[in-house]
Chains A and B, each alone.
Chain A
Amino acid sequence: MRIDLITSLFSAFSEPWWKIFYDFSILTRGVDEWLRNLMTPFWTVVIEMVIIGVVFLLLYAVIGLFLVYAERKVCAFLQNRLGPNRIGPYGIFQTIADLVKLLFKELIAIKNADRFLFNLAPYIVIIVNFMVISALPFGKGLHAIDFNIGIFYILAVSSMGIIGVLLAGWSSNNKYSLIGAMRSGAQIVSYELSIALSLITIVILAGTMQLSEIIEAQRSGWFIFKGHFSALIAFVIYLIAGTAETNRGPFDMAEAESELTAGYHTEYSGIKFAFFYLAEYINMFVVAAIASTMFLGGWMPFHVAGWEGFNNVMDYIPPFVWFFGKTFMVIWIIMLFKWTFPRLRIDQLLTLEWKYLLPINLVNVLIMAFLVLKGWHF
């Protein structure tokens, strides 16, 4: 009976197995058909949701741990150091060891803290992250939910993360935390605008908000090349605003180490601190993933219109490799920001947003609309 089940699963694939690297929907469709033959549609949906949930939970942890390791190595090489190199080859298990340490640490109860909100805050941050990451297209067919308002959904959900940060700062009964949370609130509310406007520039160019269609529109060339200087300006603004959005790099006002010790998560310990820490890195991944999807073609290989042979060679590289390659390149740039620049002051940060980025962005949206109207883009 069990052998029957497995053979029927394999017989659902009509194509050779390696094709799933190029189009993941072969696998998902096969599994879906196989499940539908076994049980009622209701249970099929339930089981599929559970599988996807588990996969994303694993992905979340793996990406988080990998990014922590990558950041340590990148900053070490920028700083004439070696970075972690003791646990495993090149220290790749260092972050896992750190995670185990954090899991075993005591969760210190803070006197006079608002216990409920204090415990709730890290989960809000994590859940928001989780909701965003589920809407990202990782490869062809490797896409959990393909909304027709995909990018709008991502913007709406990702801005909810600030609630967790504000709650953490408010409920900790710590003055540093409160200052950090208030700074973070002002910062994220401001930079949300720049992110939205720079993405709107691309939405105008693509004519859709659905992520799969945005990527499909970049088949003949990535938007950063197709959209003239306007897309380039939007990309630069997005990178700046995205770095600010993740509370990183020169914009890490909320946890300014030399000023506020650790900002909003000063009072957190153990696994709750790990949640904040992990969320910060996943945030960075999300920002980079959106940058690569909207500007650099997502999982779409590098195509040049007219060069058939070149395009065919590029198609041999699987889409998810393209996606992760571009994403990690953007992450690398964001990491370079952090380890090169000193920190801005809070008023300079807000000046940069409201006096420079926002007006430039608004004009840029107009220019892009004009370009699209005239059909001057490639």
Chain B
Amino acid sequence: MEENIKEIVVGEQEDYVINMGPQHPSTHGVLRLVVTLKGEIVKNVEPHIGYIHRGIEKMCESITYPQIIHLTDRMDYLSASINNESVCLAVEKALEVDIPDRIKVIRTIFSELTRIQSHQLFWASYGMDMGGQTCFFYGLRDRERILDIFEETTGGRMLISYNCPGGLMYDIHPNFQKRVKDFIKYFRKVLPEYDAILTGNVIFTSRTKGIGHLSLEDAISYGVTGPSGRASGFSCDVRKHEPYSAYDRVKFNEVLYTEGDTFHRYLARIEEMRESMNIIEQLIDNIPEGPYAVKMKPIIKLPEGEYFQRVETSRGELDTFVISDGNKNPYRIKFRTPCFVNLGVLNHITRDFKIADLIAIAGSLDLVIPDIDR
């Protein structure tokens, strides 16, 4: 007993622990990171989540399928339209409804517009994390144009709830095609500005290149998807591997890098904006005629069984898993949200980097906190 007692020098073993969050400018929400420091060097990062947990999955068990759509908006609010789509696709798969091409194409266009505006906001806030505050306003300036397009058709700007089981809430606005084309013309012109102010900046590149390296093995074993995973060479684009909606009829490249550092996670998102524009350009002139929604029963009841749908949100793979017991509400519903999984890798890739790098790495994972907590 005696020999087990060690002499403890006060201050010798003490770690310098700081709490980043739940209210901190760089965590983009109520994420709390308990950071152990040695001087400026990060020794351990422990994420504490649950500050914005609303029990969305539990709430889904007591509401009907059309109502669930509106809850999924609130998970990853920046890819709201894609979240809606995942539930719609799961329900349609269960009911074996044949969805007309017009709906598929419009859904795809909306998904890609959502992806662009999400990456624009990523770029904006990432610039601000790195200390270049002007980026934030440049990003928001362009994002505003997409939100205006959304507003014209759906009435909503961020949480548009445009998809519903069986199709869309309403038809597209007559101006829709023209405005999307105008936007793409405009955005192709201003995207080089993004590169000029941030991507090509020597301070920015020296702060991000070679920082927070995530290897391919780790990306797969941690399940890091989306642009963060693809920057490590993990080919995980659901749009490519399991095409849904109209992705099987468009040509686009899966943006893949092998470096896996912070800079390439950032670059992957910039390149994805270009790819998204390519997809939209292929579809926008070829929207087939037809109904904007299939007539569904007033009360949707899924047959007994388990249904699963994968979609690619702007942050990674969103899986919707529905267990139905034949009622109008699901027996159990589970969302595999990308941000929750991507957060898990944070400690692994930030260890032994500096505080400033922690901000850069956490920013490059592009976490949306309500998506982590659900």
Contacts and interface: CB of A to CB of B under 8 A. Distances in A.
Contacts of A175: 16, 18
B207 A342 contact: yes
Nearest to B206: A348
A112 to B, nearest CB: 16
A213 interface: no
A346 B206 contact: no
B138 A80 contact: yes
A261 B206 CA distance: 23
A339 interface: yes
A344 interface: yes
A29 interface: no
A347 B354 contact: yes
Contacts of B290: none
Contacts of B253: none
**Of listed A78, A79, A80, A346, residue having the most chain B CB within 10 A:** A79
Contacts of B25: 257-258, 261
B354 A346 contact: yes
B203 A259 contact: no
B198 A345 contact: no
Given A258-B25, A259-B356, A346-B356, A341 B201 contact: yes
B355 A259 contact: yes
A231 B133 CA distance: 32
A78 B134 contact: yes
A355 B129 CA distance: 27
A259 B204 contact: no
Nearest to B26: A258
Interface in A237-265: 250, 252, 256-261
Contact of B132 (A176, A261, A342, A348): A342
A344 B208 CA distance: 11
Given A75-B133, A175-B16, A259-B356, A344 B197 contact: no
Given A176-B18, A347-B354, A340 B26 contact: no
Contact of A81 (B18, B137, B207, B355): B137
A342 B127 contact: yes
B23 to A, nearest CB: 9
Contacts of B174: none
A179 interface: yes
A257 B20 CA distance: 12
B198 to A, nearest CB: 7
A261 B25 CA distance: 6
A206 to B, nearest CB: 34
Interface residues of A, number: 27
B26 A259 contact: yes
A179 B197 CA distance: 29
A344 B128 contact: no
A343 interface: yes
B131 A339 contact: no
B141 A80 contact: yes
B130 interface: yes
A82 to B, nearest CB: 12
Contact of B131 (A80, A176, A343): A343
B138 A339 contact: no
Nearest to B133: A339
A80 B132 CA distance: 15
Contacts of B133: 75, 79, 339
Interface of A: 75, 78-81, 175-176, 179, 183, 250, 252, 256-261, 339-348
22 contacts: A80-B137, A81-B137, A175-B16, A175-B18, A183-B40, A256-B131, A256-B356, A258-B26, A258-B130, A258-B359, A261-B25, A340-B134, A340-B197, A342-B127, A342-B131, A342-B132, A342-B198, A342-B204, A343-B203, A345-B354, A345-B356, A347-B354
Interface of B: 16, 18, 24-26, 37, 40, 127-134, 136-138, 141, 197-198, 201, 203-204, 206-207, 354-357, 359
The 10 closest A-B pairs by CB, nearest first: A343-B131, A79-B137, A342-B130, A342-B132, A258-B26, A345-B356, A175-B18, A258-B129, A342-B131, A342-B204
